[in-house]
Structure 1
Amino acid sequence: MTALSCGIDFGTSNSSVALNKDGHVSLVPVEQTHVTIPSAIFFRRVDNKPFYGRTAIHLFLDRQDGRFMRSLKRVLGTSLMKNGTVVNGATMNFATIITSFLKDLKDKADAVAGQEIENVVMGRPVHFVDNDPEADTRAQAELKAIAQRIGFKNIDFQFEPIAAAFAHEVNLTGEKLAIVVDLGGGTSDFTVIRLSNQFIHKPDRTSDILANTGVRIGGNDFDKELSLAAIMPELGYRTTYGPKQLEVPLKPYHDLAEWSKVNFLYTPKTIMQTRQLLHQSHDKKRYGRLLHVLEHETGHTLLAAAEGTKIALTAQEEHDAPLDFIESGFSIPVKRTLFDEAIHEEVQKIAASARQCLQEAGVKQHAIELVILTGGSTEVHSVKNEFKRLFPNATIAEENKLSSVGLGLAYDSQYKFGQHSTRPVETNSVNV
């Protein structure tokens, strides 16, 4: 009988699937030839048909009529899962939306496998929700229910940084004490772990995993801080209005700077309030740009400009953020130094979580021999510099940044569900 299982990395920004078939692990093309897909969905208004990934993003940016969503993972464990959202005039719950996205991934994996896959290891952050164990447990239960809904029979979970470690381990020679730095769109997670290619077939890795920590800060938070620091001031952020020189309401700007909140802004009430304040604004040109974005529902385009600027600043010292969808020829020059200042506090919180992981593992910084960087946010200049500073003597591994978690989950599935595995299957556990 074929030993068949898979690993699914449902990420805040990007997702991937890796297949384990008869002990051979490989990534599944999930969008044309791409082995990763943006975690985005677009429901076309005319028929409510869903589109995924890059296609969803292109349809939205081409101003097709419909509803666009990203950062769906951040909804797990929150009240929004029950409340749902309006999609093309009708209420839809988020379990249905996430199910649609993950079923598309499973269908593609099934097609490559040539049969239906029943066994999966799902990735999960160390904390779905910070400082709320009940919400964290609820988030995993919600994700498990969705996995069952799309056809998986046996479902296990693994921390994402541990999965990333498993993906790198196959290429090691000798034993290494490593820290995995997994910085995604929504969370930053860390694992201190002993790795060796001699450990790959061990059925139980509990003794090798020394500590896990995590904090709910990621690339989406970098987008937000960059937007508030560099872009929103040109839309009237922190300007004043009226005879008492009151500061304009800040909430619309903060919501416009978060992928998961943008769609909740396009209400008649918010637009009416913004129009009323515009008459009293002391900076009508800039504040008028905010009204333009709300009236034309281009908040996601605004966030895409912030995200594109973040990505550009990984290689450039300065980048012009294109905002010509607001005004013809309008752009904002943004320096990397401003971006570094804007995210300084977030980077320090991320570094503090990494140091906490070392402390819980009983390991000194100089003892770390390997730093495994995974997740797109590790490309950010100040983040990379911070971890080089923390671990100056360690080798830095950066291979397969966007797909290593998916690969590692599939390797883990091999021992949880493989025909030669001696590890007992616990279908609702996280191995730590």
Structure 2
Amino acid sequence: MSLPDCDPILAVDFGTSNTALAVLGADGLHRIPVEDTHDTLPTAVFFPTEGGGMQIGRQASAALIEGEDGRYMRALKSILGDPLFHESRLLGGRRQTLADVVTAFLVEIKARAEVATGLRFARVQSGRPVRFHSEDPTRDAQAEVDLRACYHAAGFEGVDFLCEPEAAAHACHQLGRDSHTGLIIDIGGGTSDFTVFRSQGGAVEIMASHGIRLGGTDFDQKISMSHVMGLFGHGGQLRRTFGDELLPMPNALFHDLSTWAKIPFLYTRETERKVADLLAHAVEPAKVSRLKEVITNRLGHEVAFAVEDGKIAANAATPHAGIDLGFVARGLAAPITPGSMNAALTGFDTALTQAIYATLMQAQVAPGQIDTAILVGGSSLMRFVSDVVGATCPTAKIERSEAFTAVVDGLAIASAA
């Protein structure tokens, strides 16, 4: 690597699901291996119950999978802007906030970048979604304030933000012709972002950007609710303590259990009492017994990983794809097919279509004027996403960028501006 002359800027794509780092050297872009030889690491943390320090990335996931006692957390980015971000809780043997956790994560990746490059990074160019919270401008603004404060607390003196699809446009504009109009579709773990850009003479003009709070974790949540939660009692009935009338099973607990960011907060005495009460009154106690197993043994993230694996298998049209839940009860599994998955995701295609049209309208560009539609982000690999893009911009050539690194590449390139 040919190092920058001075004042290097660390490009950070702090994603809901994955994080990546890069720097622009004198000889061009360099991704920074952030975990062994990997260009990305899962945005996940693990706090061992017995102490020993926070683990991050694949090490955190391995601790969870290997059954180490502790608290696993993922999708931290989705809590930015929420009052929950600043609430103190017991983690790793001491009370701390999620803001403290994100800061510690950023401290660690900054240190790894400095060891890998031999540079000291005082400035950061960070990606951000166009909208952290598409329906709440106040929370959206607070989310950037929260993330900026975490970067400063992690030791960065200068903090700049660039919308993620705009960063991707800088990295991907050469996928089209020398002169063309492109559309970035960036479907991440927590948000979907869109940018219309014009590439001409090697330069990129950003014409419009738009974003909605919809991403891969939402896909997982819907699939979990439709395919898995029924095995734990969702949709069932409860007997009254007195009388013969039956009551519907409440939804809130199952909704939280199927939501990545909310799973860690279910492991409380209060939740255990609720589940015990449900079990005592359930018409189908065998199913609720499985729910008790999940809560008591803190298997919520294992369930979420199983759903994610099932989603990927169904998207690839793997024969006999299923969601393996054998760790809850021997032989337990939920079948999943491309058809059943698409049925679960009904409505998301409409939301994506509307968001694309909104972006085109802001740019004053007709669908037929888009020469290249470029898919970015891990969740863009879902087939229904490319189907939506093809139907919305039928004359555009659909290209796939490097799904997990296009944003960080563009952040590093844009840092030279």
Q: State how far apart, in whole Å, the 2-side matches of 1:349 and 1:7 are.
A: 30
1:224 aligns with 2:225: no
Q: Deviations over 1:50-77 (max 9, x none)?
A: 1111111111111101111000001111
Equivalence for 1:421: none
Amino acid paired to 2:150: I
Equivalence for 1:428: none
**SS at structure 1 position matched to 2:132:** coil
Q: Contact 2:167/2:409 (CA < 8 Å) preserved in 1?
A: yes
Q: Contact 1:173/1:197 (CA < 8 Å) preserved in 2?
A: no
Amino acid paired to 1:309: G
Return closer, same or farther for 1:3/1:92 CA change in 2, 3 Å cut-off.
closer
1:130 aligns with 2:124: no
Return closer, same or farther for 1:31/1:394 CA change in 2, 3 Å cut-off.
same
1:159 aligns with 2:163: yes
Gaps of 5+ in 2: none
**SS at structure 2 position matched to 1:100:** helix
Deviation of 1:139 after TM superposition, in Å, equals 1.2
Q: Deviations over 1:165-216 (max 9, x none)?
A: 11112555411101110100100011111124521xxxxx6xx221111110
Return closer, same or farther for 1:414/1:377 CA change in 2, 3 Å cut-off.
same
Equivalence for 1:426: none
State the identity as a percent.
Answer: 32
Q: Deviations over 1:360-402 (max 9, x none)?
A: 1111111100111101111112112111221221112212110
Q: State how far apart, in whole Å, the 1-side matches of 2:89 and 2:347 are.
A: 32
Amino acid paired to 1:65: D
Amino acid paired to 1:93: T
Q: State how far apart, in whole Å, the 1-side matches of 2:158 and 2:143 are.
A: 18
From 180, 191, 194, the equivalent of 1:187 is 191
Q: State how far apart, in whole Å, the 1-side matches of 2:278 and 2:62 are.
A: 34
Q: State how far apart, in whole Å, the 2-side matches of 1:183 and 1:210 are.
A: 19
Equivalence for 1:235: 232
**SS at structure 2 position matched to 1:180:** strand
Q: Contact 2:43/2:56 (CA < 8 Å) preserved in 1?
A: yes
Q: State how far apart, in whole Å, the 2-side matches of 1:281 and 1:341 are.
A: 28
Q: Contact 2:176/2:371 (CA < 8 Å) preserved in 1?
A: no
From 350, 353, 356, the equivalent of 1:351 is 353
Amino acid paired to 2:341: F
Gaps of 5+ in 1: 200-204, 416-432
Equivalence for 1:394: 396
Equivalence for 1:257: 258
Equivalence for 1:198: 202
Q: State how far apart, in whole Å, the 2-side matches of 1:210 and 1:194 are.
A: 7
How many aligned residue pairs are there? 408
**SS at structure 1 position matched to 2:58:** helix
**SS at structure 2 position matched to 1:117:** coil
Between 135-144 and 169-178, report the one with greater CA deviation: 169-178
**SS at structure 2 position matched to 1:313:** helix
Q: State how far apart, in whole Å, the 2-side matches of 1:193 and 1:218 are.
A: 22
Return closer, same or farther for 1:248/1:88 CA change in 2, 3 Å cut-off.
farther
Alignment TM-score, normalising by the size of structure 2: 0.94
Equivalence for 1:146: 150
Q: Contact 2:90/2:96 (CA < 8 Å) preserved in 1?
A: yes
Q: State how far apart, in whole Å, the 2-side matches of 1:6 and 1:327 are.
A: 46
**SS at structure 1 position matched to 2:260:** coil
Q: CA RMSD in A?
A: 1.5
1:239-388 aligned within 5 A: 239-242=236-239, 243-316=244-317, 318-388=320-390
Q: State how far apart, in whole Å, the 1-side matches of 2:378 and 2:28 are.
A: 26
Deviation of 1:345 after TM superposition, in Å, equals 1.0
Q: Contact 2:46/2:61 (CA < 8 Å) preserved in 1?
A: yes
**SS at structure 2 position matched to 1:174:** coil
1:410-429 aligned within 5 A: 410-415=412-417
Q: Which has the higher contact order (CA 8 A, sep 6+)?
A: 1
Equivalence for 2:98: 94
Return closer, same or farther for 1:372/1:191 CA change in 2, 3 Å cut-off.
same
Q: Deviations over 1:80-133 (max 9, x none)?
A: 112143314532111110011112221122123212012221100011112322
Q: Contact 2:173/2:182 (CA < 8 Å) preserved in 1?
A: no
